[in-house]
Structure 1
Amino acid sequence: MPFHTIDAVLGGIALTLSLLVAFAGASLAFHAADFVPSFAPLIAIAVFALLVILATGLIGRAVHARHPLVPGRLSLAVPGREANVWKLLGFLNLFNLSVLIHTYACPVTLRGVLYRFFGTRVGHNIMIGGKIIEPWMVSLGDFVILGEDSLVTGHLIRGSELILGRVRIGNNVTVGLKAVVMPDVEIGDGAVVWAGAVVPMGSRIGPGEEWAGIPARCVRRAGVRV
């Protein structure tokens, strides 16, 4: 993916602001922990990490609210505003998602709360064992399970072209271990994506269907193999 000066400028400004907030908060926490001096460094580190997540998340929300991304095709060779916004949001996600989610420091039952903060539409009683890229392009219904190391992404890069697409996952859906769901995919209620499957861009999985393989295709419908 081409790298441009504007990427470094925007990312540097956003990261600097986030780190300044985090350092200030950690310093205050360290000095406020005089009553437990032996734990003061640990408290400061925890506050620093949480503030990095909070600050980068809030900056990302503000950027996306001001310049919301929509499905479509963008050029990375000669990027316009939308492509620059996408790269900035991806840069911020390296920090706010990596700290807790990508390092497995956050329980799978709590990841839905974080992804909702970062822009994902999240239903009730979900379990996320994998990763969601472009959280603002993804919506999850109720009782959804994303298996361990699964990936749901709202973008695809072909050469210098960036393709953005929404991913809509219905209720009672299971996405298996290490499965990949590409952009512009809709998964109906009660559907199952088998472990290791790769659901191609533009796929429409009907209610109750089971998809498997690379690329994934429907292998069972209404309990009957197809």
Structure 2
Amino acid sequence: MVGEVGTNRLILIGAGGHARVLADALHLLGRAEGAVVLDAQADLHGTALLGLPIVGGDELLASLRGEGFSEFLVAIGGIRGFGLRRRLFDRAVQLGLRAAVLRHPASVVAGSAVLGAGSQVLASAVVNACAEIGENVILNTGSIVEHDCWVGADSHIAPRACLAGGVRIGRQVHIGVGATICENLQIGDRAIVGAGAVVIRDVPPEAVVAGVPAKAIRRSGP
């Protein structure tokens, strides 16, 4: 099920830098009250993240579900977090939790755009007409997703990155800070586009590209 962040009790999974950004957004949306945070780092347990209690690790997901929590957000960013984010997302859904959709109040989302379960649209991000955003996607601060774009599950569009009209982004793709993807291009699954790159041709799966214009420098896989 898909639900924009509403009135249900919510779990943030992760307590790092990206989690702080989401916690701040929850405060702005009036959704911080009653929310809790889970993180695998034991020395964080019993502390707080911007006022949200860190109550334990993700092994508590099932018990929190039984205590009346019904929504979650995977609060893990970073270029190497794709597999972990997918595993945590799937586990929470299997336990009957609902992936919320977070829209920062300073973001702009077209009425014809589609936001997938667990997607996060942060401050000053723009999602334009007829764009489709997959589940568990991060559209970070100031990113632009232009008309008719498609962004695959688990991908991360970093701050100030821009996808021109008609771009298709595969699954578990990282588009680096300030990168530009020119119109109607395709970026394959698990590809990485370096910060500041300008992509003028399609990028194959698992390629790592950087520079202006962007060129392949290695593969993202093993």
| TMscore range, shorter length | 0.3 to 0.5
Compare the two structures and name the one with the higher helix fraction: 1
TM-score (norm 1): 0.44
- Structure showing greater radius of gyration is 1
TM superposition score normalised by structure 2: 0.44
